[in-house]
């Protein structure tokens, strides 16, 4: 008789990595998320976080979270659909919709839940979803939950997307969904071409701007603002766990679309609402972004400083125009050992290994914060070079 847990008992990948001393995950923070953090008794330069605007430790954001807890308590004890809607939720939704130049907005408990809830509500059995192959895992899972037929196109390949769109019957609804900024590579979606193809073939466009909000566009409104296409993108979703220094997610679109999601999204209807503390923190962060758009340029400047510095030191990186800068390490073992050694040297980075990347294309994913200093970046770059040079020729 087959035991359901057989696969669990047989799994030894993590165990082997721990025993060999190169397991790189679940390091414990003992401080606020910031440019300098404390982890397991060490002071670290943090270049592995998505705290893009440096707001997780901002006193206004922290105080807003504390004040909301004192006023509303620690939770809402129910779904937005029933007893869980606060006036604070509605205030935040109104301000976020206005900031992103859309008619309406609703918020979810997490960014992952947002993609599940939006896609599964909007697309059904008689629809087609066209999804970039490098889209986030939450998009993949959202398409599965929708029961729509999902057609994946090669990453950023507009010829492949058009070929697939051209074969789609006019009798089916069509949704093109793409990350705005791709979380592992830092690539920016080819949004002008996607919008053009959507108009040509009668499709709607949804952008996952988790890594675009607060990062792209003059005012930090995201990928659509970056390209001047805010009116042409039908649905924008994003998260509060990155630039807005909290947890949760959102969708903005025209009112009828958002209202449909509110009344038809199972992940939305059957999940408890965002906590008061998380909502207030994200709202405070949004107001700081609106008041201090110069943070967006500061983020771009420090990212470019790092990008040019890594190149000048002879490291091969995936070139992008975003604060996500992956450094090639090629093989899994070398990648994990490098991340562990950097941790010991006081620099925190993230390993990207299969299945997140093909074998032979492993990366160290680094990401930057508007409040990083050049001095911190110089130290981090020199440590990265030192560690990677010491691992040249390492056999897998």
Catalytic residues: 183, 211, 242
Name beta bridge partners: 238. Answer: 250
219 contacts 89 by C-beta, under 8 angstroms: no
Name beta bridge partners: 249. Answer: 108, 239
| Distance separating alpha carbons of residues 150 and 311, to the nearest angstrom | 38
| Distance separating alpha carbons of residues 328 and 210, to the nearest angstrom | 24
239 contacts 111 by C-beta, under 8 angstroms: yes
Name beta bridge partners: 128. Answer: 149, 174
Helices (H), the chain: 6-10, 13-20, 59-72, 87-99, 111-122, 137-146, 158-166, 191-201, 223-227, 255-264, 266-269, 276-291, 294-312, 332-344, 374-390
| Distance separating alpha carbons of residues 249 and 238, to the nearest angstrom | 6
Q: What angle do CA 111, 113, 115 make, to 5 degrees?
A: 75
Helix (H, G, I), strand (E, B) or coil at 352: strand
Name beta bridge partners: 365. Answer: 326, 350
């Amino acid at each position: 008789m087959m035991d359901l847990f057989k696969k669990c008992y047989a799994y030894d990948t993590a165990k082997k990595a721990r025993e060999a001393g190169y397991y790189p995950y679940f390091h414990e923070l003992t401080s606020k998320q910031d440019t300098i953090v404390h982890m397991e008794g060490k002071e670290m330069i943090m270049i592995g976080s998505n705290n893009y605007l440096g707001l997780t430790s901002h006193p206004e954001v922290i105080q807003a979270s504390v004040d909301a807890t004192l006023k509303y308590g620690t939770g809402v004890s129910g779904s937005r659909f029933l007893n869980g809607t606060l006036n604070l939720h509605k205030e935040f939704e109104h301000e976020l919709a206005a900031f992103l130049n859309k008619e309406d907005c609703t918020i979810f408990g997490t960014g992952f839940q947002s993609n599940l809830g939006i896609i599964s509500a909007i697309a059904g059995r008689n629809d087609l979803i066209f999804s970039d192959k490098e889209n986030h895992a939450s998009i993949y899972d959202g398409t599965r939950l929708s029961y729509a037929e999902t057609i994946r196109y090669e990453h950023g390949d507009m010829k492949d997307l058009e070929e697939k769109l051209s074969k789609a019957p006019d009798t089916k609804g069509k949704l093109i969904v793409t990350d705005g900024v791709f979380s592992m590579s830092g690539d920016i979606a080819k949004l002008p071409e996607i919008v053009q193809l959507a108009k040509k073939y009668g499709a709607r466009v949804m952008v996952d701007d988790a890594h675009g909000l607060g990062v792209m566009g003059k005012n930090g409104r995201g990928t659509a603002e970056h390209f001047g296409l805010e009116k042409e993108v039908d649905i924008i979703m994003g998260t509060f766990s990155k630039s807005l220094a909290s947890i949760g997610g959102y969708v903005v679109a025209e009112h009828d679309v958002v209202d449909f999601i509110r009344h038809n999204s199972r992940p939305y209807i059957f999940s408890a609402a965002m906590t008061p503390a998380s909502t207030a923190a994200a709202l405070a962060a949004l107001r700081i972004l609106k008041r201090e758009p110069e943070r967006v340029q500061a983020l771009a400047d420090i990212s470019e400083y790092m990008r040019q510095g890594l190149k000048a030191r002879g490291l091969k990186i995936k070139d992008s125009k975003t604060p996500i800068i992956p450094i090639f390490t090629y093989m899994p073992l070398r990648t994990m050992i490098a991340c562990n050694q950097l941790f010991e040297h006081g620099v925190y980075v993230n390993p990207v290994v299969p299945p997140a990347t093909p074998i032979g294309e492993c990366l160290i994913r680094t990401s930057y914060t508007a409040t990083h200093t050049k001095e911190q970046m110089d130290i981090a770059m020199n440590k990265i070079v030192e560690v990677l040079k010491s691992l040249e020729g390492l056999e897998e």
